């Protein structure tokens, strides 16, 4: 394994398979120590970035992502919802800001945004931006023109996950290709937006696929600014509903390796956090995760209630200087005001 820049500020884009496999194979304490050392070079180890995710259009997606309850191909009893009104989205963003979120992510279950929806989507970006929050969207595939318009409206981040390794990908999605995904990420980057891209673990992939996914992300010419690492949430009606459980240590190892490979990126704990114990989440933070989604639901799957997150942060001394102007309870009430507009989840990714 290359040793020269293990602990310097160098950010590499030339990771080789065996190097990454060697990291995965380290004794846990060595791996965690290495990841925490890298983490401290670039981040305050006691700060975790907090984002709120809102589903602005839920369900009826034409794609066939095997993990996703929003696909129209699976009978998941998910209530479909139309694109939300712009004003309603802004109200939710205000509530999220008051509860301590600094970034507001808006997700729509589309293959790609339709031209007729673009004016509304752009107005949402402008409205949330005017609140002084960072903006993020996940709307599916983007061409150059749509990427450009979103960037001009003030969109800071665009999420589009690679999901898994190129080799395992065809077992999970057939309606769009891996290279379609890479092309969207390129369009996003070319338009000047920050890239949020990661994957999902626990879909039946092997270790080599976790290595393959992280290598794809880490060997991009520029690392994604945010790297969501999701744990599969097995939703009834989806093809992956009976998938076996992922060993928590495999998940923690992947977080640590992501931190080492992409030292300056925010590594985000996303879907699946509801099923993680506090101890597991704290090990993930030690391994270098420094971003979470906040709020009751992540698009359509449960997410730990905001006050549970705050309790955990208190216990761990995380974000002790964070200003919260509105109690999470009130946030939950506001988020729940209109059931038809409830928050829900896409693995932080319509895509
Ligand atoms: S992950 Fe995104 S693209 Fe895939 S089915 Fe779900 S909403 Fe559609």
Q: Is the CB of 344 under 6 A from ligand 1?
A: no
Q: Is-catalytic flag, 136?
A: yes
Q: Which residues contact 322 (CB under 8 A, 6 or more apart)?
A: 50, 100, 313
Residue 346 has pLDDT above 50, yes or no: no
Kindly state whether residue 275 falls inside one of the protein's structural domains: yes
Determine the Cα–Cα distance for residues 267 and 347; give it in Å rounded to an integer. 14
Which atom of ligand 1 sits closest to the CA of residue 350?
A: 2
Distance 40 CA to ligand 1 centre (A): 35
Which atom of ligand 1 sits closest to the CA of residue 107?
A: 7
Taking residues 223-246, what's their average pLDDT?
91
Predicted confidence at residue 82, as pLDDT, reads: 87
Domain, as residue range, for 125: 17-341
Q: Is-catalytic flag, 284?
A: no
Predicted confidence at residue 334, as pLDDT, reads: 47
Q: What mean pLDDT value characterizes the chain? A: 85
At residue 322 the predicted structure's pLDDT band, cuts being 50, 70 and 90, is: low
Active-site residue identified among 103, 176, 196, 273 = 196
Distance 348 CA to ligand 1 centre (A): 10
Q: Is the CB of 63 under 6 A from ligand 1?
A: yes
Short-list 232, 138, 228, 212, CA closest to 169: 212
Kindly state whether residue 349 falls inside one of the protein's structural domains: no
The larger pLDDT score, comparing residue 350 to residue 260, is at 260
- Only one residue has tokens 């960037």, namely 151
Kindly state whether residue 186 falls inside one of the protein's structural domains: yes
Predicted confidence at residue 349, as pLDDT, reads: 43
Q: Is the CB of 351 under 6 A from ligand 1?
A: yes
Residue 342 has pLDDT above 50, yes or no: no
Residue 180 has pLDDT above 60, yes or no: yes
Residue 323 has pLDDT above 80, yes or no: no
Predicted confidence at residue 143, as pLDDT, reads: 95
- Percent share of the chain, pLDDT over 70: 84
- Percent share of the chain, pLDDT over 90: 61
Q: Which two tokens stand for residue 348?
A: 């932080």
Q: Is the CB of 263 under 6 A from ligand 1?
A: no
Taking residues 53-64, what's their average pLDDT?
87
Kindly state whether residue 119 falls inside one of the protein's structural domains: yes
Looking at residue 51, the DSSP 8-state letter turns out to be E
Residue minimizing CA distance to atom 3 of ligand 1: 351
Q: Is the CB of 61 under 6 A from ligand 1?
A: yes
Predicted confidence at residue 327, as pLDDT, reads: 45
Taking residues 129-150, what's their average pLDDT?
94
Q: Is the CB of 165 under 6 A from ligand 1?
A: no
| Helix residue ranges, H only, the chain | 17-24, 28-42, 86-98, 118-130, 144-153, 166-169, 178-190, 207-218, 248-261, 278-286, 306-316, 328-336
Predicted confidence at residue 79, as pLDDT, reads: 78
At residue 299 the predicted structure's pLDDT band, cuts being 50, 70 and 90, is: very low
At residue 304 the predicted structure's pLDDT band, cuts being 50, 70 and 90, is: low
Predicted confidence at residue 161, as pLDDT, reads: 96
From residue 235, how far is each of 223, 240, 295 by CA, in Å? 31, 7, 19
At residue 287 the predicted structure's pLDDT band, cuts being 50, 70 and 90, is: very high
Predicted confidence at residue 303, as pLDDT, reads: 57
Predicted confidence at residue 339, as pLDDT, reads: 37
Taking residues 235-239, what's their average pLDDT?
89
Q: Is the CB of 346 under 6 A from ligand 1?
A: yes
At residue 48 the predicted structure's pLDDT band, cuts being 50, 70 and 90, is: very high
- Only one residue has tokens 């310097």, namely 8
Taking residues 199-203, what's their average pLDDT?
96
Q: Is the CB of 284 under 6 A from ligand 1?
A: no
Q: Which residues contact 90 (CB under 8 A, 6 or more apart)?
A: 124, 127, 128, 131
Kindly state whether residue 272 falls inside one of the protein's structural domains: yes
Tally of CB atoms within 10 A around 276: 18
Predicted confidence at residue 295, as pLDDT, reads: 55
Distance 36 CA to ligand 1 centre (A): 33
Predicted confidence at residue 135, as pLDDT, reads: 94
Residue minimizing CA distance to atom 7 of ligand 1: 109
Tally of CB atoms within 10 A around 315: 10
Q: Is the CB of 228 under 6 A from ligand 1?
A: no
Distance 68 CA to ligand 1 centre (A): 6
Active-site residue identified among 2, 12, 65, 284 = 65
Kindly state whether residue 251 falls inside one of the protein's structural domains: yes
The larger pLDDT score, comparing residue 37 to residue 1, is at 37
Tell me the helices (H) and strands (E) count for the chain, helix number first: 12, 11
Predicted confidence at residue 194, as pLDDT, reads: 96
Residue 259: CATH number of its domain? 3.20.20.70
Determine the Cα–Cα distance for residues 346 and 159; give it in Å rounded to an integer. 10
pTM to 2 decimals?
0.84
Which atom of ligand 1 sits closest to the CA of residue 176?
A: 3
At residue 332 the predicted structure's pLDDT band, cuts being 50, 70 and 90, is: low
The larger pLDDT score, comparing residue 71 to residue 192, is at 192
Q: Which two tokens stand for residue 269?
A: 């704990």
Q: Which residues contact 282 (CB under 8 A, 6 or more apart)?
A: 312, 316
At residue 275 the predicted structure's pLDDT band, cuts being 50, 70 and 90, is: confident
From 57, 67, 71, mutation site for ligand 1 pocket: most ligand atoms within 8 A of C-beta? 71
Active-site residue identified among 149, 268, 284, 297 = 268
Kindly state whether residue 1 falls inside one of the protein's structural domains: no
Distance 182 CA to ligand 1 centre (A): 16
Which atom of ligand 1 sits closest to the CA of residue 69?
A: 6
Whether the Cβ atoms of residue 264 and residue 42 lie closer than 8 Å to each other: yes
Residue 44 has pLDDT above 50, yes or no: yes
The larger pLDDT score, comparing residue 170 to residue 95, is at 170
Kindly state whether residue 351 falls inside one of the protein's structural domains: no
Residue 63 has pLDDT above 70, yes or no: yes
Predicted confidence at residue 137, as pLDDT, reads: 95
Number of separate domains in the chain: 1
Q: Is the CB of 200 under 6 A from ligand 1?
A: no
């Amino acid at each position: 394994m290359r040793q020269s820049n293990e602990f310097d500020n160098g950010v590499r884009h030339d990771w080789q398979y065996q190097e990454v496999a060697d990291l995965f194979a380290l004794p846990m304490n060595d791996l965690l120590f290495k990841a925490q050392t890298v983490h401290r070079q670039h981040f305050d180890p006691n700060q975790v970035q907090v984002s709120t995710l809102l589903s602005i259009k839920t369900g009826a997606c034409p794609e066939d992502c095997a993990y996703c309850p929003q696909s129209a191909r699976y009978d998941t009893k998910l209530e479909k919802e139309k694109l939300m009104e712009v004003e309603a989205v802004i109200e939710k963003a205000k509530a999220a800001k008051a509860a301590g979120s600094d970034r507001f992510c808006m997700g729509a279950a589309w293959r790609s945004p339709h031209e007729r929806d673009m004016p509304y989507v752009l107005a949402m970006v402008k409205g949330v931006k005017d609140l002084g929050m960072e903006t993020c969207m996940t709307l599916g595939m983007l061409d150059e023109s749509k990427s450009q318009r979103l960037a001009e409206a003030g969109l800071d981040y665009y999420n589009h996950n690679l999901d898994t390794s190129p080799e395992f990908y065809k077992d999970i999605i057939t309606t769009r290709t891996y290279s379609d995904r890479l092309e969207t990420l390129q369009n996003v980057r070319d338009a000047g937006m920050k890239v949020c891209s990661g994957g999902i673990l626990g879909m039946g992939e092997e270790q080599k696929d976790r290595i393959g996914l992280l290598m794809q992300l880490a060997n991009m010419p520029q690392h994604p600014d945010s790297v969501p690492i999701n744990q599969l949430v097995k939703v009834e009606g989806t093809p992956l509903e009976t998938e076996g459980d992922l060993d928590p240590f495999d998940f923690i190892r992947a977080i640590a390796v992501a931190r080492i490979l992409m030292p300056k990126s925010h590594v985000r704990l996303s879907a699946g956090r509801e099923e993680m114990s506090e101890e597991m989440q704290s090990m993930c933070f030690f391994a270098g995760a420094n971003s979470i989604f906040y709020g009751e639901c992540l698009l359509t799957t449960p997410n730990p209630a905001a006050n549970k997150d705050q309790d955990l942060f208190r216990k761990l001394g995380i974000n002790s200087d964070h200003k919260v102007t509105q109690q999470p309870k009130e946030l939950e009430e506001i988020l729940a005001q209109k059931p038809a507009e409830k928050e829900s989840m896409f693995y932080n990714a319509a895509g």
